[in-house]
Chain A
Amino acid sequence: MNTQDNSDVVEMRSISKGFNGVSVLKDVDFQVRKGEVHALAGGNGAGKSTLMKILQGVYHADAGDILISGKPVAINSIQDAKAAGIGMVFQEFSLVPSLTVAQNIFLAAEPLGRGLLIDDRTAVRKSRELFAEMEVDVDPRAEVSRLGTAYWQLTEIAKALSQNARVLIMDEPTASLARHESEALFELIDRLKKRGISIIYISHRMDEVYRLADRITILRDGRRLLTEPLTNVTPEQIVEGIVGKKIEGQLAYRARDHIIHDGAPLLEVRGLTAGRRVRDVSFTLRPGEILGLAGLMGSGRTELARALFGIDRVDDGEILIRGKKSSLASPQQAIDAGIALVPEDRRAQGLVLDHSVRENLLLPLLGKIRRGPLLDQGAGKELSSSLISKFAVKVAHPNRPVRLLSGGNQQKVVIAKWLGNDPDILILDEPTAGVDIGTKSEILDMIRDLASAGKAVIVISSEYPELLAVSDRVLVLKDGSVLRDIPRSEIADEEYLQLAVQGV
């Protein structure tokens, strides 16, 4: 930390921001020193990403000032932010896959040779210099699409450095990296720091925060809770700071006594390995049981669901359904075996947005409403209407396109679509992401009711209160493997689960 000279390279002063009258940031102060790694933490909706978007020029603050190296600047656009030396390493990478590394680095800032022609040779040479400074080995002439995600990230960092960035914002940079790649990134961050570049590091991973950061700022409910050197805070304090002490009635766990403990489990997974992110996973699931899957981003939760549903190929291990070994090589086979998956991204994976609510609901059920070779329109209308009323989907008419519905109602359509098939095993991946609080508690009630009716349910969620509200057991995943399998009764509170997920 000897390169730090305590001068603030970025200073955000009493920043406030609201959307449609809802206040998201209230009077937030945030300073980053030269050559400092500053961790930014907070729960969902705490205001981290809004604060960073203001710094990047995506949003404009309602009130407050931004000072760069002590001088007030107006950041009204992404260009302004770049000119001020703010660089961003995007979580979803913003590169053009069909171009080379060098072409991406100098995209829209291509060095020109004689006349107006792009001088690719200079671009390649400059890229080499950048990578040499970063002390990493990347071929500037390689096409980005042929490189792994770790190289994408390095290209992003080189791109930011080529624009003379003095502050880099990194949002969960290790989420899609393998362990050794993460370690290489940490070493790069150390080197960047020595060169006086500051890094704002957003991560939920406590071990990374302690490994890298000098100070931490925690936001909660749009306010700054604390800014402290990491030597002054314990992991427990950080978790408590993120979680807070809020108690939400609907999210309280209700013990259900419907789990059938004797007899064969409905689903038994033994040593399941699929791709890079599911390694040797074993667990059992009984009728009436709700199993929560917890883990950080990139821990393999979604990939486990995909493997169980026959989307990703299973490399090793076995899946037993009702005690019988099953091969699930396609979603159709998984459906036939009685499994349903409510996918993570309802718009991309769950719905045909331009089709009507009715058509979407009936898509997996077409086999049920056949009369000879034709579909029975009447039966289809009846079936879709009964699903709409059973799941209280708010829609003016079943013929309306599903894209016009609110997020919560769209989610209900995806769930209802699957329950029409009466599956025995239901996997829900982030079932309440982007839905309002009212619908959220409805969906949680739905999950409880389904389990009570004897179905086995797997719930994947990044929101721990929600996971604790429904799960009878929680499986903690880390790097694709089961870290712990904890009965609900042993989990005292959210903090306990947070620490379990961190592996502390």
Chain B
Amino acid sequence: MSKTTAISPGNTTEARRSFGTALKELDWRRYVIYIGFVVVFLFFAVLLRDQGFLSPNNLLNIFRQTATITVIAVGMTYVISCAEIDLSVGSVAGLSSVCTAMALSQWGLIPGILAGLAVGLLVGSINGALVSLLGIPSFLVTLGMLGIAAGTAQWITASAPQPILDDTFNTLFGSGNIGPVPGLIVWSAIFVAIGAVVLNRTRFGRQVLATGGNRTAAEFTGINTKKIKFQVLLISGAVASVAGMLYAGRLQSGRFQWGAGDELSAIAAVILGGTSLFGGAGTVIGTLFGALLIGLINNGLILAGLDASQQQVVRGAIIILAVALARKK
């Protein structure tokens, strides 16, 4: 066995050369989200300078408006990295918002929060069990669950909004500020930070990526891939239910429409961020920027005076363009 060809950690010329090759092989496609973010930001900053795009208030608004999508998308990053999908997140958020509101008015703050979380844990574990134990594709399971959760939320409230009068709850989830920083931004920062660390720096995160990258190899390595698939769907459900409570707190009510359609925005944010739709590669920070880019576009188009239908067209085109640029050769 020759040892000369192998790398040794302390060898500086080796290190310098490998830095050089690394730079040459730097795959800019992986960073297209950051480039895109900067380009779109500068574009609006110039074009909309008179409409107050750069005002601190507007910038904070962008963050505030994307917070719930960001939170949902963090959970979705795990699901997609694991080569699964969760279409039920938007309606889980809606169901969680109404359950929280109803339990809150009946029994108070803590039961309200627990009720919201319970929705996410319950739906997440049903999704996870059906996917990992029965082997039903997650696309189908969560598509069905999308309808079940949304329908349940509408049914139990008879389509009526459920007002939340508890100020502590509203302050805690979304309406309050910590110093100058809106609470929603703190919430998304916490989720992004935990999400990024767990995916990159824990055994669980590595096992999620390995399961998504090559399930057979992961199984041969002793990873219980069924358990991992169950866990990512559980996480996604639980995180979506927190997002539902953030809607409830910000809008001071629970309503079945909250979160409707968020699954698509969240999936778009995750894919824009550079997570592979086929599993095996995921980045939570990328997801954050994906969500922010979508928020940026929404905000800029409103300021530019486009109506809702035109916004949809432009937003769709930008997402397709970004994913096309980021695709592998």
Contact = CB atoms under 8 A, between A and B. Distances in A.
B38 interface: no
Interface string A384-422: 010011011111111100000000000000000100000
Contacts of A362: 206
B133 to A, nearest CB: 15
Given A331-B221, A382-B9, A355 B3 contact: no
A398 B22 CA distance: 11
A172 interface: no
Interface in A340-378: 341, 343, 348-355, 359, 362-364, 366-367, 370, 373-375, 377
Given A381-B9, A388-B7, A335 B202 contact: no
A311 B223 CA distance: 12
Interface in B1-38: 1-3, 5-9, 17-18, 21-22
Contacts of B202: 373-375
B222 interface: yes
Interface string B218-256: 111111100000000000000000000000000000000
Contact of A364 (B8, B21, B213, B221): B221
Given A352-B280, A367-B203, A375-B206, A393 B217 contact: no
B217 A349 contact: yes
30 contacts: A311-B219, A330-B222, A331-B219, A331-B220, A332-B222, A332-B224, A348-B214, A348-B217, A351-B217, A352-B214, A354-B213, A359-B209, A359-B210, A363-B206, A363-B210, A370-B203, A373-B202, A374-B197, A375-B201, A375-B202, A382-B9, A389-B8, A392-B3, A392-B6, A393-B6, A394-B5, A396-B17, A397-B7, A397-B22, A442-B1
A332 B228 CA distance: 14
B265 interface: no
A354 B220 contact: no
B220 A343 contact: yes
B216 interface: yes
Contacts of B22: 397, 399
Given A375-B203, A389-B3, A352 B220 contact: no
B207 interface: yes
Contacts of A392: 1-3, 5-6
A368 to B, nearest CB: 10
A378 to B, nearest CB: 10
A399 B21 CA distance: 11
Contacts of A348: 214, 216-217
B281 interface: yes
Contact of A374 (B201, B207, B220, B276): B201
Nearest to A397: B18
Given A354-B280, A363-B218, A375-B201, 11 more contacts: A309-B220, A331-B219, A348-B217, A351-B214, A352-B209, A354-B276, A355-B210, A364-B221, A374-B202, A396-B17, A396-B21
Contacts, number: 104
A395 B223 CA distance: 26
Interface of A: 309, 311, 330-332, 334-335, 341, 343, 348-355, 359, 362-364, 366-367, 370, 373-375, 377, 381-382, 385, 388-389, 391-399, 417, 442, 445-446
A331 B222 contact: yes
Interface string B157-195: 000000000000000000000000000000000000000
Contacts of B209: 352, 355, 359
A85 to B, nearest CB: 39
Contact of A352 (B7, B17, B218): B218
Contacts of B7: 385, 388-389, 395-398
A87 B220 CA distance: 37
Given A350-B220, A351-B214, A366 B207 contact: yes
B9 A330 contact: no
Nearest to A355: B213
Nearest to A310: B222
A343 B214 CA distance: 14
A113 to B, nearest CB: 34
Nearest to A442: B1
Given A374-B201, A375-B201, A389-B7, A352 B210 contact: yes
Interface residues of B, number: 34
B283 to A, nearest CB: 14
A355 B6 CA distance: 19
A6 B4 CA distance: 62
A330 B207 CA distance: 16
Given A352-B210, A366-B207, A445 B280 contact: no
Contacts of A309: 220
B170 to A, nearest CB: 33
A311 B2 contact: no
Contacts of A398: 7
B199 to A, nearest CB: 11
Contacts of B280: 352, 354-355
A335 B222 contact: yes
A16 B5 CA distance: 38
B200 to A, nearest CB: 8
Contacts of B216: 348-349
Nearest to B1: A392
Contacts of A349: 216-217, 220
B3 A352 contact: no
A218 B21 CA distance: 48
A360 to B, nearest CB: 8
A352 B5 contact: no
Contacts of A399: 22
A211 to B, nearest CB: 37
Contacts of A353: 213-214
Contacts of A367: 203
A222 B210 CA distance: 42
Nearest to B209: A355
A336 to B, nearest CB: 8
A375 B221 CA distance: 18
Among B7, B9, B209, B217, the one with the most A-chain Cβ atoms within 10 Å of its Cβ is B217
A425 to B, nearest CB: 14
Contacts of B224: 330, 332
A172 to B, nearest CB: 24
A354 B27 CA distance: 13
A307 to B, nearest CB: 14
A396 B220 CA distance: 27
A207 B42 CA distance: 77
A239 to B, nearest CB: 34
A483 B57 CA distance: 81
A335 B223 CA distance: 10
A353 B210 CA distance: 10
B1 A341 contact: no
Contacts of B217: 348-352
Nearest to B201: A374
Contact of A389 (B6, B18, B197, B218): B6
A392 B1 CA distance: 6
Among A359, A362, A363, the one with the most B-chain Cβ atoms within 10 Å of its Cβ is A363
Contacts of B276: 354
A351 B6 CA distance: 20
Contacts of B1: 391-392, 442, 445-446
B18 A396 contact: yes
A437 to B, nearest CB: 15
A6 B286 CA distance: 71
Among B2, B8, B9, B224, the one with the most A-chain Cβ atoms within 10 Å of its Cβ is B9
